[in-house]
Amino acid sequence: MVSLLEKWFGTQRTHPDFRFRGFLFSALLFISSSFVFFIYYNLVIDYFPPMLIANSVSLFFCIIGGYYLLIKKRPKVAATILQLIVSIDTFILILIDGNEEFALVFAFLTPVMGVFLLGYRNGSILSLVYFAGIFYFCFTQMDTWQPEIFLPISLIHFSFIYSLLLIVSFFYDSSRRKAYQMMEETNRQLQELATTDVLTKLRNRRYMEDQLLNAIGNHYIAMLDVDDFKKVNDQFGHDQGDKVLIKLAEVLMHNIDLLDTVGRWGGEEFIIIFAEQNLAQLEEKLKQLNYSVAHTDFGIGRPITISIGLANHYANRHRDCIRAMDQALYDAKANGKNTYSIAS
C-alpha cells in the first residue's frame, strides 16, 4: 500500500512531504465518503434540496482536489480546495440549521484542519475570518433559536473552545515547522562539517573522492604537494607548518576558476578538479599555480613551492587515474620540484 501511495504522490516515504500528502489523501477520502452519505441521506431518507445541492457540489470539488493531489502533484492546491470545501459547507450547514442537532460543532473543523492544511499563518487567518462570520451569525440569531435557546454563556463556551483549538493548532504546527527547519539546518551543518577540512576549510578527501566517483564524463585532476614540507615543520614547528597550509589553501582558492574544485587530500597534499578540458589552457593554469605559490610570502623567511601532477580522470577507472596522477607528481618531484608533470 505504501509503495502504491509513493507512486501516486510522486515522492518517497522518507520525504517530509509524504506524511502531509498522506494526511491530505486520507482527509479527501474520508470527507468525500461523508458527502456521499449525506447526499444519500438528503435524497432518500430526509429529502432536503439545499443540503443535497451543497453536498453534491462539495463532492465534485473533492474529486477536483484529488485530481490535483494525485495527477497534477500539486498538494498545496488540493489542500486549499479541501479546506474551502470544509469551511464553506459547514458554514452553510450552520446557517441553515442554526443550533439544531448541534450543527455548530462542525465549526470546530476549520481551525484544526485549516492550520494543518494551509499552515499556521494562512490557516489562522482563515479561521479568524470564519469565526467572525459564525460569531456574528450566532450573536444575531441566538435569541430566536428553538427549542434550545443559545444563551450568552453558550456563545462564550463556543468562543472559548474555538479559540483554544485554534491556539493549540497554531502553536503545534508552528513549533513543528520550526523544529523541522532547525533539523534541516543542523543536518546541513553536519553535512558541511563532514565534507570540510578542519584546518584549511577546503573540501576534504571524502568530498573530493565522492565528486570523482560520481562524475559524469572525464575531468582533469591535479595533485599538489608542498616541496620539502618536512623541513618546514622541523625548522619552524608544526604550528607554523599549519599556517603555511592555511595560507597555501587561500592561494589555491584565488588561482582557480569558479567551476573548479580544490580540496585537501591529506597532509601537505592538495587536489584540484578542473572544469577546463583544453590541455593547453590547463598547462597555463599549472604554470600560474607554481608561480603564485613561489611568489607568496608565507611569513617564514623562505619561499614555499609546490610540485604538481596532472592526469585525466574517469570515474570507472578511478584508482588507475589516481595512480597516474601520483606518478605524474613523482615525476615533477624528480624533475627538480616547483614544476608540473602531465601523466601520459
Is 268 noted as a catalytic residue in this protein?
yes
Contact predicate 232/240, CB 8 Å: yes
Residue owning grid cell 502531509: 20
| Beta strands 306-314; 340-342: pairing state | parallel
List Cα–Cα distances, 154 to 135, 145, 178, 326, in angstroms. Answer: 12, 12, 36, 83
Widest pairwise Cα distance in the chain:
105
Q: Helix %, strand %, coil % for the chain, to 5?
A: 70, 10, 20
Which runs of E-coded beta strand occur in 281-344?
306-314, 340-342
Which runs of E-coded beta strand occur in the chain?
218-226, 261-266, 269-273, 306-314, 340-342
One-letter amino acid identity for 12?
Answer: Q
C-alpha cell at 15: 520525504
List Cα–Cα distances, 86 to 5, 130, 163, 303, 321, in angstroms. Answer: 24, 11, 18, 75, 63
Catalytic, out of 101, 148, 184, 268: 268
Which residues are the active-site residues?
268
